[in-house]
Amino acid sequence: MRTAVVVLGDLGRSPRMQYHALALAVDGSEVDLVGLEGAPLHAALTAEPRLRSHRLPDRAFASRAGHGRRRFVALSAARVSWQAARLLSSLLQLPKPDVILVQTPPALPTLAVAWTVAKLRGARLVFDWHNLSHTILAVKLGDQHRAVRLLARSERRWARRADAHLAVSRGLADFLRREWGVQSTVVYDRPAAFFAKPSLQASAELWSRLSRDYSLGARRIPLLVCPTSWTPDEDFDLLLEGLERAERILIAQRGASDAGTPDVAVFMTGRGELRQAFEQRVARRHFTRIAVRTAWLDPADYPTLVGMADVGLCLHQSSSGLDLPMKLADFRGAGVPVCAYDYAPVLGEAVTPGREGIAFRDPNDLAQVVLALATADFGKVPQFAASRAWLAAHPAQHWDAQWQEHARAAILGG
């Protein structure tokens, strides 16, 4: 069987679809993974002989957000048209697939292009719902904007034409059934096997490089890791306010720190449109007791950093209130307690306080976590001690087992 896995995004930043592609290849399918150029794939994918990746150039139109709604809509429409032509051409040039698996968002142009190719080539069409495109657009334009309403109708129309659906949460699956009349299989994000506690040697080697490259000093200090895509659905104002409160308390207790000797390090990983502005805001605050660093890590180093973390931080605020960020699964695989912003009831599908970690609501909650790390006093946040014990006693289910149990039949049929 041959499968085309379509990701209209940076392939290196779409781990769930990478995992789908790898699982299909290991299962025996010949897989063509199609997506935009960007970060490199994990070595496990490039080493798989049944898997081939196809990278499409991306006209990002970075200026589209800077000149009002009309310009944003016009340039976004131009980008969609350009991407549709490139994606259609690429899919038609591939060997005939039996199945086309599509990540959504983005709904445009992937759903229409994938449906067209599936019809022309007699392929089964499966949509993997990560979120809803129209709610993401509404963050920029507002719920009542005409483009948002049109996109919502378009998503519903194309959803009803697919052969099968996957969803990342029960909440999202319930929405698809209730509002659009389509049934979906819930396939939760689960960590890949390489998300685990790293060896002491691997941790020491990475810390040596990080401390040198990011001026952290030789002493190993507590580490809070926050993976981010630097998009508007993450609350960086809340983060900075929480860090400022923790910094003020630490200075009151210990005085200002000498350069290079912070009490705790906060690593923000990833690339995205808001990163530069965040770096400028951090520079103006002159933190001394808290080291705030932004970094982009090699795919081989990222799982080690996640596994080294004392706490994982998730700032995700869902546009729909129905999706679950995959970074939660990464920390779960490494046995690292997570501190996740409590954005919607759906978060309870992935985080139970005292098990996978805790949820926080405001900057003061976050400041208490940072203080607990900096002072090694988790009595301030007792649920973290419970989480560490629970995670050690309950190893995570990995992606391969989840995929075989829930996703395989939905994707391949039968």
DSSP 41-74: PPHHHHT-TTEEEEEEP----GGGGSSHHHHHHH
Residue type, 292: V
Predicted confidence at residue 378, as pLDDT, reads 78
Predicted confidence at residue 170, as pLDDT, reads 98
Query: Same structural domain for residues 99 and 56?
Result: yes
**In 3D, which of 69, 19, 71, 63 has the Cα closest to residue 41?**
19
**In 3D, which of 140, 135, 185 has the Cα closest to residue 343?**
135
Query: Same structural domain for residues 166 and 309?
Result: no
Query: Same structural domain for residues 370 and 405?
Result: no
Number of domains comprising the chain: 2
Could you tell me the pLDDT band of residue 68, with boundaries at 50, 70 and 90? low
The torsion angle over the Cα atoms of residues 364, 370, 374 and 375, rounded to 10 degrees, is 50
413: left (phi over 0), alpha (psi -120 to 50) or beta: left
Mean pLDDT computed over 363-391: 90
Q: State yes or no: pLDDT of 414 exceeds 70.
A: no
**Length of the chain, please?**
414
Could you tell me the pLDDT band of residue 67, with boundaries at 50, 70 and 90? low
Question: Tokens in use for 177?
Answer: 């059934």
How far, in Å, CA of 350 to CA of 356, rounded? 8
User: How many CA within 13 A on the CB side of residue 91?
Assistant: 34
**In 3D, which of 346, 336, 95, 130 has the Cα closest to residue 222?**
336
Query: Same structural domain for residues 207 and 232?
Result: yes
Provide the terminal-to-terminal Cα distance of the chain, rounded to the nearest Å. 13
Q: Are 198 and 308 in contact (CB under 8 A)?
A: yes
Residues 6+ apart with CB under 8 A from 176: 129, 159, 165, 167, 182, 183, 184
> pLDDT of 24-57, one tens digit each?
999 999 999 999 888 888 888 999 999 999 998 8
Query: Same structural domain for residues 208 and 129?
Result: no
Tell me phi and psi for residue 183, to 5 degrees. Answer: -90, 140
Could you tell me the pLDDT band of residue 157, with boundaries at 50, 70 and 90? very high
How far, in Å, CA of 224 to CA of 336, rounded? 10
Query: Same structural domain for residues 208 and 181?
Result: no
> pLDDT of 245-270, one tens digit each?
999 999 998 877 665 579 999 999 98
Residue 234 belongs to a domain: yes
Task: Return the CATH number at 281.
Answer: 3.40.50.2000
How far, in Å, CA of 118 to CA of 286, rounded? 55
Query: Same structural domain for residues 231 and 156?
Result: no
| Helix/strand/coil percent split, the chain, to 5 | 50, 15, 35
Q: Are 270 and 227 in contact (CB under 8 A)?
A: yes
Tell me phi and psi for residue 412, to 5 degrees. Answer: -85, -20
**In 3D, which of 265, 262, 268 has the Cα closest to residue 223?**
265
Residue 195 belongs to a domain: no
pTM for the model stands at: 0.90
> pLDDT of 161-180, one tens digit each?
999 999 999 999 999 999 99
Query: Same structural domain for residues 164 and 242?
Result: no
Residue 17 belongs to a domain: yes
Task: Report the chain's mean pLDDT, rounded to a whole number.
Answer: 90
Tell me phi and psi for residue 7, to 5 degrees. Answer: -125, 105
Share above pLDDT 70 across residues of the chain, in percent, rounded to a whole number? 95
Range of the domain at 219: 200-393
Q: State yes or no: pLDDT of 60 exceeds 60.
A: no
Q: State yes or no: pLDDT of 401 exceeds 60.
A: yes
Question: Tokens in use for 405?
Answer: 């149990």
